[in-house]
Amino acid sequence: MISLQLFPNSFNTQNHHHPKTKPKTSATAIKSLLQYNRKPQLAGDTPRVVVITSGKGGVGKTTTTANVGLSLARLGLSVVAVDADVGLRNLDLLLGLENRVNYTLVEVLNGDCRLDQALVRDKRWSNFELLCISKPRSKLPIGFGGKALVWLVEALKDRQEGCPDFILIDCPAGIDAGFITAITPANEAVLVTTPDITSLRDADRVTGLLECDGIRDIKMIVNRVRTDMIKGEDMMSVLDVQEMLGLALLGVIPEDSEVIRSTNRGFPLVLNKPPTLAGLAFEQAAWRLVEQDSMQAVMMEEEPKKRGWFSFFGG
């Protein structure tokens, strides 16, 4: 049987170069376990401005922003999440903060309120804050563009409370003016995709646009992975996706019905007790983001008697 094993790059040694060699899974599993029993070391200069994008709508950008953002806050890092989707914002709903958004970035720029009044602090994790660009069903004023978000980043750097460790920008779908506005201040990108051809084509297009804008640090999250469909050859494997896009792999999120429940309750998946498989995958993706690490999909040969294709996290 051939299975898909997913390990961080730091622990992916000889197995990737010699796929026919039987791996020492016990040692690798111990090392992987020990990695998550320590506090991650923040890499790079702060604030780390990360845009979460995809091109195609409905692949899980906002869900990723909410869960990765709160995972970073739970690791002790200060986070400001910016919902850059004009007129169709949803990040406040996923976080359960929709009733507390009184001001937006547009009001700040118009001089109607201060920046600290527009930032909504999460009561569960005080080091997590939300900022919406505009109110639902509203239009941005003429002249509003990427320079507004550049100003926002500089203002957050200089505020009295201190510079945040991460600024996560939830990018709108598409590649129009809203997309250009969202990616302007970013120096890193997380590309969210699903293992289907329409999503992958859009992801490949967005990757080119990000690189043209000068963003070279691009990692991807493969969302809504179903092992049963991969085994039946009805869905591309994570390894196939990585080979097609040629991007570093930040995380793999399995299909999970709990995502819909958590969305409807305004309670992010990573806060669930007991944790779900998807919630744990988001937490691990956040860990890798902190250390600017990635994971590698590795083909490994196991018992020849069993036949199949790939399975999520091996097995």
pLDDT digits (tens, 9 = 90+) for 41-59: 999 999 999 999 998 999 9
Look at residue 19 in the predicted model and tell me its pLDDT: 43
Q: Does residue 3 register a pLDDT over 50?
A: no
Order of strands, sheet of 217-225, starting from the edge strand that comes earlier in the sequence: 2-8, 295-301, 248-254, 217-225, 188-193, 48-53, 166-170, 79-83, 128-132, 120-121
For the cut 70, the answer to whether the pLDDT of residue 28 exceeds it is no
214 belongs to an annotated ligand binding site: no
| Cα(288)–Cα(6) distance, integer angstroms | 13
What pLDDT sits at residue 139?
Answer: 66
On the question of pLDDT at 83 being above 80, the answer is yes
Phi, psi of 226 (to 5 degrees): -120, 115
pLDDT tens per residue across span 93-102:
999 999 999 9
Which pLDDT score, from 0 to 100, does residue 86 have?
A: 82
62 is in an annotated binding site: yes
Please determine, for residue 283, whether its predicted confidence score (pLDDT) is greater than 90: yes
pLDDT for res 161: 87
- Of the given ranges (28-32, 55-59, 291-295), which has the lowest mean pLDDT? 28-32
Share of the chain above pLDDT 70, in %: 80
| The residue type at 55 | G
- 57 annotated ligand-binding residue: yes
What pLDDT, on the 0 to 100 scale, is given for residue 144? 78
64-88 average pLDDT score: 95
**pLDDT for residue 154:** 97
Residue 63 assigned to a binding site = yes
Segment 255-270 shows an average pLDDT of: 93
Across the chain, what does the average pLDDT equal? 85
Q: What is the pLDDT of residue 168?
A: 98
Fold observed for domain 2-12+44-301: Rossmann fold (3.40.50)
pLDDT of residue 87: 74
- Residue 142 clears pLDDT 70, i.e. is over it: no
Tokens 């937490």 -> residue: 283
Q: Is 69 annotated as a binding residue?
A: no
| pLDDT of amino acid 90 | 93
Q: Which residue has the higher pLDDT, 13 or 218?
A: 218
Judge whether residue 18 has pLDDT over 60.
no
User: Any binding-site annotation on 53?
Assistant: no
Give pLDDT, residue 296. Answer: 73
Known binder of ligand: residue 143?
no
